[in-house]
Amino acid sequence: MFKSMFKSGCLVRTVHVILTWLTTLVLFLHNTDLRKCQERGDLFQPVLFSSVVLLSVLLYFTVSLMDPGFVLSDSVTKVETSVDSNEELEQMIPQDDSSLKQRRCGYCFLLQPMRAKHCKMCKRCVRRFDHHCPWIDNCVGERNHKWFLLYLCVQFVAVSWGLQASWSGIVFAPTWQQWFTQNGLLLGAFALTAVFSVVSLLLLCIHVYLASVNSTTWEFMSRHRIVYLKHCDSEENPFDRGVICNLWDFCCICGTVAWERIYIRHTNGAV
């Protein structure tokens, strides 16, 4: 974990933490609603806001540093599948169906499970690959996707609250020069939180939708290039089990999943 902190993402993580706490400091040093609550002895909102910010930072590092679901080796691939053993799985897969054959990655030469993809940034194959996020300098995959969604929820609450707080502290002045002098830092905090509020809300909506239909960003954007989806209709998703089941599986399943089984079950049911 500590080795991961000092890779190329160290600068991005440092910038994230500095911006987060500088913005929080600006909100408490100016005459915002948070500062007013603090001055009159009502500490509930300031403590709650600080707790939300701290939680967002902790979740950021959790998602950034954890294993997104790397395919470790061929032998581990056989052991880790949460639905029976790989040998039984291979017996169920028709060997003449090219979309179901496990292929070796052209970069790391490991057997790729279904829905896995090699990330050129991480230089490893990731199970149920969603995308590589430059802001966390890590992939979003089978193991950390739910934590990424939780991080987006908390981050949106933090930045939207910060947006409201920064707006509440802006004061009027007789001249433009005085107005910019008095509100310069708050305007910077307002602009920063406004941008991150829009971005986090858009990402949150996108990933809630993807989780509800059991799809990924990679599958949604590159459907025409993915072997196991080429033969499906444009609106067909072989992994979709309904919104409730999809969200339940997304939030509650912790182990790796043999997606080949679900694909075969869907294909046989459609015949």
> Residues with catalytic annotation?
133
Strands (E), 127-259: 131-133, 138-140
Given a contact cutoff of 8 angstroms between Cβ atoms, the answer to whether 103 and 112 are in contact is: yes
Give the whole-angstrom CA distance, residue 85 versus residue 261: 11
Question: For residue 27, which of 182, 162, 158 has the smallest C-alpha distance?
Answer: 162
DSSP state of 110: P
First to last CA, the chain: 47
Give the whole-angstrom CA distance, residue 252 versus residue 223: 26
211 phi/psi in degrees, rounded to 5? -65, -35
